[in-house]
Amino acid sequence: QKEVEQDPGPLSVPEGAIVSLNCTYSNSAFQYFMWYRQYSRKGPELLMYTYSSGNKEDGRFTAQVDKSSKYISLFIRDSQPSDSATYLCAMSAAGGSYIPTFGRGTSLIVHP
């Protein structure tokens, strides 16, 4: 079992839809949770960063962490074609060098 599981998709939605992206993990030591967006042939860019459990909102994006279930989510409201990209979850444990473990990414396609 991989430490971080993420469905690769693709996930195809119409413009304006609410998108839900998810990851599960097995390492209970993870405390820092990140979501990255990666456009084709580009490097990832950090979208959201959350520490421990709870919700965090930034514009159309909401990140949720449920440590009891080892489950994290990213919601995108009013999705736009420009949101079409691969979304990678990442998480790391406290202490040491905080090097994150990445999921394989979910490909999202928002069609007009």
Partner 1 sequence: GAVVSQHPSWVICKSGTSVKIECRSLDFQATTMFWYRQFPKQSLMLMATSNEGSKATYEQGVEKDKFLINHASLTLSTLTVTSAHPEDSSFYICSARDMRLGSYNEQFFGPGTRLTVL
Q: How far apart are the first and last CA of the chain?
A: 37
The answer to whether 54 contacts partner 1 (rule: CB under 8 A) is no
The answer to whether 85 contacts partner 1 (rule: CB under 8 A) is no
Closest CA to 83 of 39, 45, 49, 48: 39
- Site size toward partner 1 (CB under 8 A) is 23
- Cα distances (angstroms) measured from residue 14 to each of 25, 41, 48, 75, 93: 29, 24, 23, 15, 36
Interface pick for partner 1 out of 12, 46, 66, 80 (rule CB under 8 A)? 46
The answer to whether 98 contacts partner 1 (rule: CB under 8 A) is yes
- What does the binding site for partner 1 look like in residue numbers (CB under 8 A)? 6, 8, 32, 34, 36, 41-46, 49, 88, 92, 97-100, 102-105, 107
